[in-house]
Amino acid sequence: MTVNEQQNPATDGRNEESHDEERRGRRDNRRGGKNDQRRERRGRREESQYVERVVTINRVAKTVKGGRRMSFTALVVVGDGNGLVGVGYGKAKEVPAAIAKGTDDAKKNFFRVPLMGRSIPHVVQGEDSAGVVLLRPAAPGTGVIAGGPVRAVMEAVGIHDVLTKSLGSSNAINIVRGTIAALKKLEQPEAVAARRGLPLERVAPEAMLRARAEFEARERAEKEAAATEAENEAAAAGVGA
């Protein structure tokens, strides 16, 4: 037997361990891929009535014995456009699956935001880690004055007139968390008046209350008009049949 034909037991053992690790990695990838595909198909089947905004997508790598495993993370904001909002974080080997996981996670973290018409009731500042975000109510027609991460949250909540300022970290995750912390501090004037033992007129300006009443009346009128139109269409379809 020549020197080249001689086998080293230690080398053979390392090679076998490497092959086992590669086989386990391929098996895990297949399992994860199948789960991600099922989640993606389920998400496509469910026609969502929510507003979904993808804030950021990052590519991450994990170094293992067999090499580097690549995956993606997605920060997603989901809301109904009428005060309900949640933030989720998803991780998967493909971008669509990561977004689907982030959307599912956001729906688990829903909470209700008190609105004042198309804006917020009062000035508020939220802090989370290094993220510090200031929110200020604005007059109708102002629009959303905000950067990308804060704008995504405002659109999901359904806030159309607001002034915002990021005072801390520029990291998108910290900014979104700071925005969520600020929204959780918001209160309706009735709650503030009850806590302080004051009449509502002492807590909220008359113009604010009048604007809210006008907005609610306009919303009711639009809903009634839509319901009447749907009834007329149904009646016309019945006559045609």
pLDDT at residue 15, as a whole number: 56
Q: Report the Cα–Cα distance between both ends of the chain, in Å, rounded.
A: 92
Residue 115 has pLDDT above 50, yes or no: yes
Q: Could you report the per-residue pLDDT of 74-100, keeping only the tens digit for each?
A: 999 999 988 899 999 999 999 999 999
pLDDT at residue 24, as a whole number: 65
Percentage, residues of the chain above pLDDT 70: 79
pLDDT class of 5 with cuts at 50, 70, 90: very low
pLDDT at residue 102, as a whole number: 94
- In the block, which residue shows the tokens 């990021």? 166
Rounded to an integer, the average pLDDT of 199-213 is: 74
pLDDT at residue 31, as a whole number: 57
pLDDT at residue 172, as a whole number: 92
pLDDT at residue 3, as a whole number: 45
184 vs 178: CA distance, rounded Å: 10
- Please list the residues that pair with 127 across neighbouring strands: 132
